[in-house]
Structure 1
C-alpha cells in the first residue's frame, strides 16, 4: 500500500494527530517501534487501525511518517 494522498493532506493529517487522537506524532512513532515487527506498510496501518481505532488516513500518515524518519536515520 502506498501513500494515496497529497503531501499537503499528509502534513494536515500529521498536524491534526494530537487533536484527533490525543497523542502526538512521537508517541505514535514509539508505538510502532514497540509494536509488532510488521514489514509491510499495510500491515502496520491495519495494526494501528485495529489496535487503536484510528481512522485509515491518520494511520496511513503515521506509518508514512515513520518510514520517512526511519529512512533519514539510516542515511545519517
Structure 2
C-alpha cells in the first residue's frame, strides 16, 4: 500500500481522528472489517470517505493504519 503523505503527516492525521470524526480508531477498524471486501486500499479509503463523509486524507490514513495493525497481528 502506498502512502500519499509523509509518515509525520500520517501520525498527525491519526492522532486527530477521534477529535475530527468523533470515533476512535478501533471503531473505524470495525467499520472497515464489516464493510465491503475490497482488495485495494484505495477502494477501501474511497468507500470509507463516501460512506462516512470523511475527507480522503483521513479515510486513507485510517485505512493505512488498519492495514498496519492487521499486518502486525500476523507477525
- Gapped runs of 5+ residues in structure 1? none
Instruction: Point out 4+ residue stretches in structure 1 off by more than 2 angstroms.
Output: none
Aligned match of 1:56? 56
RMSD: 1.0
Give the TM-score normalised by structure 2.
0.94
Aligned match of 1:71? 71
Q: How many residues align?
A: 75
Query: In structure 1, what is the Cα distance between the partners aligned to 2:71 and 2:24?
Result: 20
- Determine helix, strand or coil for the equivalent of 1:14: helix
- Gapped runs of 5+ residues in structure 2? none
Give the TM-score normalised by structure 1.
0.93
